[in-house]
Amino acid sequence: MAAKGKDPQAPSLDPQAQSESTAALLRELVAHLRQNRTQLREEWARRITRAQLLTAMTEEEIFAEATSVYDNYVEALETGTFEALQAYARNLSERIIPRGVETHEVVGIVLLLRDVLARSLFGKYHEDFDKLNRILDAYEPAANRVANTVAVGFVQERERIIRQQQEAIRELSTPVLQVRERLLILPIIGVIDPQRARQLTEQLLRAIRTNRAKVVVIDITGVAAMDSNVANHLVQTVEASRLLGATVIVTGLSPEIAQTLVTIGVDLSEMATVGDLQGGIEEAERLLGYKVVPLEEPVPKA
């Protein structure tokens, strides 16, 4: 591309000079914010309390956080790098999310700080309107980026926690338990969506293999409602288990579910169903050749 060997950046002299003056203005701005640190910080904390933000925290905590946010804020303005601020925002979010701080509060306090600082700049430069304009030109984009960084950091942290919890719930919600040699039970509780049904089946198939299970009892007492999709998933689970050589017994179909399934015409004739979990386990034991007898019963002599 650069065939002529001429610097294509040549006409950028003007913007460069402009960015230099922006840098100078930012330096001046930062010096001002450093000078008035105590006063501005207090003003900000006061405004936060007055706006009834961060109600989950005590005043001392708000002041302490306000101080460190303020310092990080000024530093981000000065250096133009946001990594430190990002890390701080993540760290802050990690601490305050468990205490019930909401997104609007975090966005609110950052915007408040922006407002407090802007007012202070108005106060300082109100006599030199032209300079005020230039200062604001330098300040606004940087301040917006800072506000953006903090808010995004908070939301990201929140989403990360939600994802983590969702995963934990999903893991918890499908325990495959071995009750006897070669007999597994899979109690399903809650709502079955396609994703969960898929995960459930995969987990069950893996468990059948590792435990060398011969019979599986799937208990759906805890499933409130079932539609044709869920029923089809269940049929698929039963079929896939059979391919691995395991017999599946489904237990705990509630009267409502039984009525729905027959009404919407789902064919469950391929499926072995038993009324409740106890019956299912008894049937499974029979299939496996177990017989449970009470201890005190005298053993008949052969």
Partner 1 sequence: MEVPILKQGLYLIASIQSALTDADLSALREALIERVGKYRARGVIVDVTALDVMDSFAVRTLRDIAHMARLRGAETVIVGIQPEVAFAMVQLGLTLKGVSTALDLEEGLAFLDRQGRERLDRVQGRGTRGGTTRG
Summarize as ranges the residues that interact with partner 1 (CB under 8 A): 201-202, 205-206, 208-209, 212, 214, 236-237, 239-247, 270, 286-289
Q: Tokens in use for 140?
A: 């606004």
CB of 169 to partner 1, least distance (A): 22
CB of 260 to partner 1, least distance (A): 22
Beta-carbon contacts of 182 under 8 Å, excluding residues fewer than 6 positions away, are 211, 212, 213, 214, 215, 288
CB of 240 to partner 1, least distance (A): 4
**DSSP code per residue over 96-111:** HGGGT--HHHHHHHHH
Beta-carbon contacts of 84 under 8 Å, excluding residues fewer than 6 positions away, are 72, 75, 76
Rounded Cα gap, residues 242 and 259, in angstroms: 26
Task: Report the residue number, 239 or 276, with the smaller CB distance to partner 1.
Answer: 239
Task: Report the residue number, 36 or 232, with the smaller CB distance to partner 1.
Answer: 232
Task: Report the residue number, 148 or 210, with the smaller CB distance to partner 1.
Answer: 210
CB of 204 to partner 1, least distance (A): 9
Task: Report the residue number, 163 or 286, with the smaller CB distance to partner 1.
Answer: 286
Considering only CA atoms, which of 216, 195, 193 is closest in space to residue 204?
216
C-beta of residue 150 within 8 angstroms of C-beta of residue 132: no
CB of 170 to partner 1, least distance (A): 17
Rounded Cα gap, residues 181 and 236, in angstroms: 25
Task: Report the residue number, 161 or 240, with the smaller CB distance to partner 1.
Answer: 240
- The CA dihedral of 82, 84, 87, 88, to the nearest 10 degrees, is -110
Task: Report the residue number, 247 or 254, with the smaller CB distance to partner 1.
Answer: 247
Task: State the Rg of the chain over Cα.
Answer: 33
Task: Report the residue number, 89 or 284, with the smaller CB distance to partner 1.
Answer: 284
> Distances from the Cα of 149 to the Cαs of 63, 143, 152, 153, 262, in angstroms?
21, 10, 5, 6, 55
CB of 196 to partner 1, least distance (A): 14
Task: Report the residue number, 57 or 271, with the smaller CB distance to partner 1.
Answer: 271
CB of 205 to partner 1, least distance (A): 3
CA angle, 86 then 89 then 90, to 5°: 90
CB of 287 to partner 1, least distance (A): 5
Rounded Cα gap, residues 107 and 168, in angstroms: 29
